[in-house]
Amino acid sequence: MPELPEVEAVVRSLKAGGLEGSRLKSAKVLRATVTRPQTIEEVELKSVRTKVLTVERRAKNILLHLSNGRSIRIHLRMTGDMAITALAAPEPATTRVVWILDGRKKLLFLDGRALGSVHVYSTAELNKKLEKLGPEPLGRAFTVRRFVDSARRSRLAAKLFLMDQTKVAGLGNIYAAEALFRARISPTAAMCSLTDVQLQELRSAIRSVLRRAVQSVDKAYRLPGGFRHHQDDFTRLVYGRRGKPCAVCGSEIERISQGGRSTYFCSYCQR
């Protein structure tokens, strides 16, 4: 499942492929569900005859800002991906949206399970959609003071706090668990109960884990098969390792359910 590092890798690949500055000449939506509640016609008409000014990631969203005052917002969900190919290249069966670019190229939105989404908004509409997102964990706004102040006001369990997109934008299940392990904090501990030192260590762990993951995914995404190579390069110390020995103390890694998601942790190291 694409999380922040995977989405970042897609954004970087689109930039490297020259999408910024390219003209979107025409569009064709091949699966109506990816644009709902917007119509196919709305997405097709509002995203063409314009130029892509910038490509950026906000949380787990891919944003293509256009010269017509609109932006395309793409969410990859479980199996989404994007690619720039030659105009004559065959389109995979998982292709859901196609934009024809200048320079005899095309931009594809691919999604095997068709759970992802593609929408077009004006700048004002997009800002309203994203206004509740918290700070980017790798950005300048994710300061120690802001993180500590937010934690002090929350009784949420640590893992649920980190998964709350209004608290930290884009942090997903895998990297939340890994950051908590590296900071030696229990996923069930109330955020308001943690000391300033623990919170500083957790913030540092979040940034460290994400930086390493972004480097790993970016490298893997350039290889045939893409993201699956990432798991060979990024070491997961707890996530998905239930019953296996902890790399630090040797105790068995445990799994519990929090907010409908699996949480992996070491009960000895994380107290």
Q: Rounded to whole angstroms, what are the CA distances from 118 to 97, 159, 163, 221, 229?
A: 8, 29, 23, 22, 27
pLDDT tens across the length of the chain (271 residues): 678 999 999 999 999 999 999 999 999 999 999 999 999 999 999 999 999 999 999 999 999 999 999 999 999 998 999 999 999 999 999 999 999 999 999 999 999 999 999 999 999 999 999 999 999 999 999 999 999 999 999 999 999 999 999 999 999 999 999 999 999 999 999 999 999 999 999 999 999 999 999 988 887 776 655 555 445 456 899 999 999 999 999 999 999 999 999 999 999 999 8
Q: Considering only CA atoms, which of 32, 40, 109, 38 is closest in space to residue 77?
A: 109
**Residue tagged 């969203």 (tokens):** 61
Give the pLDDT of residue 223.
63
Helices within the chain (DSSP H only): 4-16, 40-46, 123-130, 144-152, 158-163, 173-182, 196-221, 230-233
pTM tops 0.75:
yes
Q: Which residues are catalytic?
A: 2-3, 60, 261
Rounded distance, CA 163 to CA 183, Å? 16
CATH 3.20.190.10 fits 4-130, yes or no: yes
Pinpoint the residues of the chain covered by CATH 1.10.8.50.
144-265
Rounded distance, CA 181 to CA 73, Å? 33
Q: Is 57 helix (H, G, I), strand (E, B) or coil?
A: strand
Residue 100 amino acid letter: I
Give the pLDDT of residue 159.
98
- Domain 144-265 top-level CATH class: mainly alpha
Pinpoint the residues of the chain covered by CATH 3.20.190.10.
4-130
Q: Considering only CA atoms, which of 111, 95, 116, 107 is closest in space to residue 35?
A: 116
Q: Considering only CA atoms, which of 61, 79, 270, 59 is closest in space to residue 177?
A: 270
Q: Are 53 and 65 in contact (CB under 8 A)?
A: yes
Give the pLDDT of residue 253.
98
